[in-house]
Chains A and B, each alone.
Chain A
Amino acid sequence: MMERLELAVKTHDQALLEEAFREAEQGGLGKDPVLKALTAGLDAVRERLGHHTASIPEFLLAVDVLKQGIRRLDGLKSRKNTAANQKTIVIGVVEGDVHDLGKNIVADVLAAYGYKILDLGRDVPCAHFIGEAVRSHASMLALSCMMSTPLENMREIIARSRKDLPEAAVLVGGAALDERIAARVGADGYAASAVTVSEEVKRLLAGRR
């Protein structure tokens, strides 16, 4: 049953996912092992992508199937309150930039990995970013920027977050950045792509509340 769930994500097979879920429900399987099997499927595709034997569309199709699986999780029993254990990531494209597809993909990938995502959209002013991060007790701010001109706005959000939400980690990504620029704007981490983002988030959030 677990193998079938993993295979459904790996082969982005929605019909197989539905079948495997029905079996999981009948078999009284809990949320946690199911989520583990689903993410194992995505990890497998991510690994293939790293070895150039899968493409980005295949990875995204697997993300879409995993998301479909997460929506079905509510029907299963859970030993612990998963929602209460979820860490919140506030994500958005900084003010001055309207390119949001990369951010949308990252938001979906992180949601697929079980994080609670608060997506603020694009062209997000500093005050709004910080206000929402404080209000939601965010563990992380994830800032995207595809152009070099709004980098100053990204730097401002990071500086403000250090004062108003010092315990939160800051992750940045987008075409305007690389590791060096990420460090220069004051971020804790840099996500090179939607494929590597889950590893980077895991690293940054290790040990944080």
Chain B
Amino acid sequence: MTDNRARQRGEEVIHPRLPSAAEIMPGLARRLGYQDTRSIPQDLNGYIQKALEESLEAARPQAVCRMSRIERIGRKEILGTGFKLESPKWARFSQLLDSPEILLVYALTLGDDLDKRIDALRDAPITLSYVLDAAGSEIVERTADRMEADLWERPAFKGLQRTIRFSPGFCDWRLNAQQEIFQFLHPESIGMLCTKAWSMLPSKSITAALLGARGLPFHTPCPLCTQKACPHKRVE
């Protein structure tokens, strides 16, 4: 019954493929403070690889995604069917795109097995918790990349280019927009929760939106932005 209602609303539960350890390792090395995988000291390499394998084993990726057709772009918001994205910077950026047509909104989680594993390590060596946590963060980001690429192969997106994903709390999209995403996607169906302070549980989860348009001059509003010290600035 619940599944039927979700389907009618256009929500789709998917089980994204996990990236391989080799795909995750370069980003994990950077998260741990190394320039690249070759910079990792030999005595630590095995330790990190083992922690990464453990994180991959604990990860159970699931996502809910839903499309929203763009109806209007205002000065401060992008209005799609059933979903409003309030971000003046993304609205201004959207106006420069060639025929922006859709917003793809999704919530992705690795599940709570990894959180439980890290919690259980509270009295164990702290290094392992740290590396498992960093591995989880990298896995969820790379899983999202792969899921977006897979989704974009579908006929619904034919002829459309996609922007990078953006999430509440980044750029000028307020963190409390999590509430609107949760109302739009109902990711509780895959075990995701949002706290009063808008953080997500399980902790290795992502909520995001991306735009599909016929043509993109660039993939983010960053080139239009005058803010110099933005920690989230993406260089094209």
| Residues in chain A within 8 A of chain B (CB atoms) | 55-58, 60-61, 63-64, 67, 96-99, 101, 104-105, 108, 123, 146-150
Chain A nearest CB, measured from B78 CB (Å): 24
Establish whether residues B197 and A55, one from each chain, have CB atoms under 8 Å apart when the complex forms.
no
Give the one of A57, A60, A123 with max B CB within 10 A: A57
Residues of B within 8 A of A60 (CB): 125-127, 130
Chain A nearest CB, measured from B129 CB (Å): 6
Give the one of B44, B127, B195, B199 with max A CB within 10 A: B127
Establish whether residues A104 and B129, one from each chain, have CB atoms under 8 Å apart when the complex forms.
yes
Residues of B within 8 A of A98 (CB): 195, 199, 201, 203
Size of the B side of the interface (Cβ < 8 Å), in residues, is: 25
Establish whether residues A58 and B44, one from each chain, have CB atoms under 8 Å apart when the complex forms.
yes
Chain B nearest CB, measured from A119 CB (Å): 9
Establish whether residues A57 and B32, one from each chain, have CB atoms under 8 Å apart when the complex forms.
yes
Q: Given A56-B33, A57-B48, A64 and B127 touching (CB < 8 A)?
A: yes
How far apart are the CA atoms of A60 and B130 in the complex, in Å? 8
Establish whether residues B130 and A57, one from each chain, have CB atoms under 8 Å apart when the complex forms.
yes
Residues of A within 8 A of B48 (CB): 57
Residues of A within 8 A of B122 (CB): 104
Q: Which of A57, A99, A123, A148 contacts B127 (CB 8 A)?
A: A57
* The 9 nearest A-B residue pairs measured at CB: A96-B197, A60-B127, A149-B197, A64-B125, A55-B33, A108-B126, A150-B197, A61-B127, A101-B133
Residues of B within 8 A of A56 (CB): 32-33, 130
Residues of A within 8 A of B32 (CB): 55-57
B154 within 8 A of A: no
| Residues in chain B within 8 A of chain A (CB atoms) | 32-34, 41, 44, 47-48, 118, 122, 125-127, 129-131, 133, 175-176, 195-199, 201, 203
How far apart are the CA atoms of A58 and B122 in the complex, in Å? 19
Establish whether residues A99 and B199, one from each chain, have CB atoms under 8 Å apart when the complex forms.
yes
Establish whether residues A101 and B197, one from each chain, have CB atoms under 8 Å apart when the complex forms.
no
7 more contacts with CB within 8 A, not counting A67-B126, A149-B176, are: A55-B33, A55-B34, A67-B125, A101-B130, A104-B126, A147-B197, A149-B196
How far apart are the CA atoms of A147 and B169 in the complex, in Å? 9
Give the one of B48, B122, B176 with max A CB within 10 A: B122
Subset of 6 A-B contacts with CB under 8 Å: A55-B32, A57-B48, A60-B126, A98-B199, A123-B195, A147-B198
How far apart are the CA atoms of A58 and B133 in the complex, in Å? 16
How far apart are the CA atoms of A148 and B176 in the complex, in Å? 11
Chain B nearest CB, measured from A176 CB (Å): 10
Q: Which of A64, A97, A123 contacts B126 (CB 8 A)?
A: A64
Residues of A within 8 A of B175 (CB): 147-149
In the complex, which residue of chain A has the Cβ closest to the Cβ of B193?
Answer: A98
How far apart are the CA atoms of A63 and B125 in the complex, in Å? 9
Q: Which of A96, A99, A105, A147 contacts B130 (CB 8 A)?
A: A105
Establish whether residues B118 and A149, one from each chain, have CB atoms under 8 Å apart when the complex forms.
no
How far apart are the CA atoms of A58 and B203 in the complex, in Å? 25
How far apart are the CA atoms of A96 and B131 in the complex, in Å? 25
Establish whether residues A63 and B126, one from each chain, have CB atoms under 8 Å apart when the complex forms.
yes
How far apart are the CA atoms of A98 and B130 in the complex, in Å? 16
Establish whether residues B126 and A96, one from each chain, have CB atoms under 8 Å apart when the complex forms.
no
In the complex, which residue of chain A has the Cβ closest to the Cβ of B119?
Answer: A100
Q: Which of B44, B196, B203 contacts A99 (CB 8 A)?
A: B203
In the complex, which residue of chain A has the Cβ closest to the Cβ of B118?
Answer: A101
Chain A nearest CB, measured from B44 CB (Å): 6
In the complex, which residue of chain A has the Cβ closest to the Cβ of B124?
Answer: A64
Residues of A within 8 A of B33 (CB): 55-57
Q: Which of B34, B47, B129, B199 contacts A101 (CB 8 A)?
A: B129
